[in-house]
A and B are shown apart, each in its own frame.
Chain A
Amino acid sequence: MKSKRPAIPYLGWMLVFTIVPLLMVIYFAFTDERGQFSLEPFKNASVYSEVFLYSLGIALISTVICLVLAYPLAYSVSRCSQRAQSTIIMLLMVPMWMNFLLRIYAWVLILQNYGPLDMILNLFGVDVTLIGNSGAVIVGMVYEFLPFMILPIHAVMTKIEPSLIEAAQDLGCNGFHVFTKVIFPLSVPGVISGVTMVFVPTASTFLVAQYLGGTQFMIGDVIERVFQSDHNTGSAIAVVLMIVILGFLVVMNRFGDKEAVAG
Chain B
Amino acid sequence: MKQNSVVSLKDINFKYSNEVILNNISLDIYDKEFITLLGPSGCGKTTTLRIIAGFETPQSGEVYFEGEKVNDVPPHKRSVNTVFQKYALFPHLNVYDNVAFGLKLKKMPKSEIEKAVKQMLAVVDLKGYEKRPVRSLSGGQQQRVAIARALVCDPKVVLLDEPLGALDLKLRKDMQIELKQLQQKTQKTFVYVTHDQEEALTMSDRVCVMNNGVIAQVGTPEDIYNEPANAFVADFIGEANIINGIMLEDCKVRLLGVDLDCVDNGFEKNQPVDVVIRPEDVEVTAPDQAKLNGVVEDVIFKGVHFEISVKCNNCLWLIHSTVAQKVGDTIGMRIDPYNIHIMEKMFLNPTNDIITDVYYSDKENNTTTILLEGVEVTIPDAYFEEGKKIKIVLPPEALYIAGDGVGHLDEVYIESVIWKGEHNEIILESDERKWIMQSDIDEQVATYVPLCFDFGKAEISEV
- Interface check B211, CB cutoff 8 A: no
Other A-B pairs beyond A166-B53, A171-B105, 12, CB < 8 Å: A164-B88, A164-B90, A166-B55, A166-B75, A170-B75, A170-B76, A170-B82, A171-B149, A172-B106, A260-B91, A261-B91, A262-B92
Residue pair B92, A185 in contact (C-beta under 8 Å): yes
Q: Mark A143-180, 1 if CB is under 8 A from B, else 0.
A: 00000000000000000010110111111111001000
- In the assembled complex, the Cα of A166 lies from the Cα of B161 at a distance in Å of 13
In the docked arrangement, what's the CA distance between A163 and B162, Å?
Answer: 14
Cross-chain contact B93 with A161 (CB below 8 angstroms): no
- Name, among A172, A177, A181, the residue most crowded by chain B CB atoms within 10 Å (CB to CB): A172
Q: Which residues of chain B are near A185, meaning CB under 8 Å?
A: 92
Query: How many angstroms between the C-alpha atoms of A260 and B92 in the bound complex?
Result: 5
The residue in chain A whose Cβ has the minimal distance to the Cβ of B55 is A166
Enumerate A230-263 residues with CB–CB distance to B below 8 Å.
Answer: 259-263
Known contacts A163-B84, A163-B86, A177-B105, A170 near B92 by CB under 8 Å: no
Interface of A is mostly: helix
* Chain A window 1-40, contacts with chain B (Cβ cutoff 8 Å), 1 for yes, 0 for no: 0000000000000000000000000000000000000000
Interface residues of B in 192-239 (CB under 8 A from A): none
Q: A171-B102, A171-B149, A174-B76 are in contact. Are A166 and B88 (CB under 8 A)?
A: yes
Nearest CB of A to B56, in Å: 11
Q: Please list the 4 inter-chain residue pairs (A to B) with the smallest Cβ-Cβ separation, ordered nearest first.
A: A260-B92, A171-B102, A163-B88, A167-B88
| Shortest Cβ distance from A164 into B: residue | B88
Hey, which chain B residues are within 8 Å of A65, CB to CB? none
Please, how many angstroms separate the alpha-carbon atoms of A259 and B92 in the complex?
A: 8
Q: How far is the CB of A81 from chain B (nearest CB, A)?
A: 12
A260: chain B residues within 8 A (beta carbon): 91-93
How long is the Cα–Cα vector from A37 to B134 in the complex, in angstroms? 55
A166-B75, A166-B88 as given contacts; A172 in contact with B102, CB under 8 Å: yes
Give Cα distance in the complex from A109 to B76, angstroms.
52
Interface residues of A (CB under 8 A from B): 161, 163-164, 166-174, 177, 181-182, 185-186, 259-263
CA distance A181 to B90 in the complex (A): 10
22 A-B interface contacts by CB (under 8 A)? A161-B88, A163-B84, A163-B86, A163-B88, A164-B88, A166-B84, A166-B88, A168-B101, A169-B74, A170-B53, A170-B76, A170-B82, A170-B150, A171-B81, A171-B149, A174-B74, A177-B105, A181-B101, A182-B90, A260-B91, A260-B92, A261-B92
A170 to chain B, nearest CB (A): 5
Contact indicator A169/B76 (Cβ below 8 Å): yes
Residue of B nearest to A172 (CB): B105
Q: Which of B53, B76, B149 contacts A173 (CB 8 A)?
A: B76
Whether a CB of chain A sits under 8 angstroms from the CB of B247 is no
Q: Which of B54, B91, B101, B153 contacts A262 (CB 8 A)?
A: B91
8 Å CB interface, B70-104 against A: 74-76, 80-82, 84-86, 88-93, 101-102
As a 0/1 sequence over residues 168 to 191 of chain B, the CB contacts with chain A under 8 angstroms (1 = contact) are 000000000000000000000000
Number of A-B contacts (CB under 8 A): 65
- Docked complex Cα distance between A88 and B408 (Å): 41
Q: How far is the CA of A160 from the CA of B66 in the complex (A)?
A: 34
CA distance A166 to B93 in the complex (A): 16
Residue of A nearest to B153 (CB): A171
Are A186 and B91 within 8 A (Cβ)? yes
List chain B positions with a Cβ less than 8 A from chain A: 53-55, 74-76, 80-82, 84-86, 88-93, 101-102, 105-106, 149-150, 153
B residues near A186, Cβ cutoff 8 Å: 91-92
Contacts of B93 in A (CB 8 A): 260
Q: What is the bound-complex CA distance between A259 and B133, given in angstroms?
A: 12
Task: Give A101 to B278 CA distance when docked, in angstroms.
Answer: 80
Q: How far is the CA of A164 from the CA of B82 in the complex (A)?
A: 12
- Distance between Cα atoms of A177 and B101 in the complex (Å): 11
Nearest chain B CB to A230 CB, angstrom units: 50
Q: What B residues does A259 contact at CB under 8 A?
A: 92
Give the CA-CA distance A249 to B106 in the complex, in Å: 39
Shortest Cβ distance from residue A155 to the other chain B in the assembled complex, whole angstroms:
16
A167 near B76 (CB under 8 angstroms)? no
**Other-chain residue from A166, A172, A174, A263 in contact with B91 (beta carbon distance below 8 A):** A263
A172-B155 Cα distance, complex, nearest whole Å? 11
Across-interface contacts of A171 in B (CB, < 8 A): 76, 81, 101-102, 105, 149, 153
B343 CB to nearest A CB, Å: 39
Residues of A within 8 A of B88 (CB): 161, 163-164, 166-167
B91: A residues at CB distance < 8 A: 186, 260-263
List B contacts of A167 (CB < 8 A).
82, 84, 88-90
Residue among B81, B86, B90, B92 with max Cβ neighbours from chain A (10 Å) = B92
In the bound complex, what is the Cα–Cα distance between A176 and B277 (angstroms)? 57
CB distance from A189 to the nearest CB of B (A): 10
* Chain B residue at minimal CB-CB distance from A263: B91
When chains A and B are docked, how far (Å) is the Cα of A262 from the Cα of B91? 7
For the complex formed, measure the closest distance between the CB of B107 and the CB atoms of chain A, giving whole angstroms: 10
A231 vs B80: C-alpha distance in the bound complex, in angstroms?
A: 70
Kindly state the separation between the CA atoms of A157 and B245 in the bound complex, as whole angstroms.
59
Residues of chain A with a CB closer than 8 A to B84's CB:
163, 166-167
Instruction: Out of A170, A173, A181, A262, name the residue touching B81 (CB < 8 Å).
Output: A170
What is the chain B residue whose CB lies nearest that of A182?
B90
| Centre residue among A163, A170, A185, A262 by max chain B CB count within 10 A | A170
User: What's the least CB distance linking A174 to chain B, in Å?
Assistant: 6
Complex Cα gap A262–B101 (Å): 17
Looking at B74, B91, B149, the one whose CB has the most chain A CB atoms below 10 A away is B91
Q: Which residues of A contact B55 (CB under 8 A)?
A: 166, 169
Question: Which residue of chain A has its CB nearest to the CB of B92?
Answer: A260
CA distance A166 to B101 in the complex (A): 13
Query: Looking at A163, A171, A174, A181, which has the most chain B CB atoms within 10 Å of its CB?
Result: A171
Report the separation of the CA atoms of residues A169 and B78 in the bound assembly, to the nearest whole angstrom: 10
Give Cα distance in the complex from A199 to B361, angstroms. Answer: 76
List chain A residues, Cβ under 8 A from B54. 169
* A261 CB, min distance to chain B CBs, angstroms: 8
Q: How far is B89's CA from A263's CA once the two chains are assembled, in angstroms?
A: 11
A166: chain B residues within 8 A (beta carbon): 53, 55, 75, 82, 84, 88
A172 and B153 contact, CB distance less than 8 A: yes
Contact residues in B for A168 (Cβ distance below 8 Å): 90, 101
A177 to B90, CA, bound (A): 14
Task: Give the distance in Å from the alpha carbon of A261 to the alpha carbon of B86 in the complex.
Answer: 19
In the complex, chain B residues whose CB is within 8 Å of the CB of A173: 76, 105
